[in-house]
Amino acid sequence: MIARLWHGWTSLENADIYENLLKTEIFPGIAARGVAGYRGIRLLRFEGDQEVEFLTMMEFDSLDAVKQFAGEEYERAYVPPKAREVLARFDERSRHYEIREHLAY
């Protein structure tokens, strides 16, 4: 399994707008693409004093599945235009990690 991690930051004022965009448009759009080997996405949020950081972690069966989702330049971040409008800054590239262990307690 592969985890695709990406960070984006936005203002305190835009944080709820961005989160709503993710939940109502971007995440459902990703799922609707029907990429074989896509296993889902997690959204993490950290509120700082000046800005809000978001971390997404997508899970895929393999690097080939990641490439089906993102193309041959699979490290390039997928940031739709509507997201770019409310993000202050974001990772231009996603990081990919091999999931070595997944335990449920």
* Average pLDDT of the residues in 88-101: 96
Q: What end-to-end distance do the CA atoms of the chain give, in Å?
A: 19
* Average pLDDT of the residues in 41-63: 97
The pLDDT value given to residue 20: 98
* pLDDT, tens digit, 9 for 90 and up, residues 13-41: 999 999 999 999 999 999 999 999 999 99
pTM above 0.85, yes or no: yes
Sequential DSSP letters for 4-57: EEEEEEEETTTHHHHHHHIIIIIHHHHHHT--TTEEEEEEEEEE-SSEEEEEEE
* Average pLDDT of the residues in 65-84: 95
